[in-house]
Amino acid sequence: MKTLKEVPIGETVTVKKLHGEGAVKRRIMDMGLTKGTKVYVRKVAPLGDPLELTVRGYELSLRKADAEMIEVE
């Protein structure tokens, strides 16, 4: 299982599955990270958190704790 947290900068991946429960999972889905969505990892902050992603044509900053709940391929 590969998570979004492990994806190197400059790579595009597809969301395979969301882990987590309740409000956390709903918040991730509300940001546009749903099954089948293409995600491009643009860059990582200097201290490693957060990640900057391109999702559905917009820029999204996501904490590593949240990125760990997103399974990708």
Indicate the number of domains in the chain: 1
pLDDT value, residue 59: 93
**Which domain range does residue 61 map to?**
2-72
pLDDT value, residue 4: 87
Listed in sequence order, the residues at least 6 apart from 46 whose beta carbon sits closer than 8 Å to its beta carbon are: none
CATH code of the domain containing 26: 2.30.30.90
pLDDT in tens, 14-40: 999 998 888 888 998 898 888 999 999
pLDDT value, residue 48: 78
* pLDDT of 5 higher than 90: no
* pLDDT of 12 higher than 90: yes
pLDDT in tens, 49-64: 899 999 999 999 999 9
CA-CA distances (angstroms) from residue 32 to 16, 45, 46, 48, 63? Answer: 13, 21, 25, 22, 15
Helices (H), the chain: 22-30, 64-67
Q: Could you tell me if 39 and 8 are in contact, meaning their C-beta atoms sit under 8 angstroms apart?
A: no
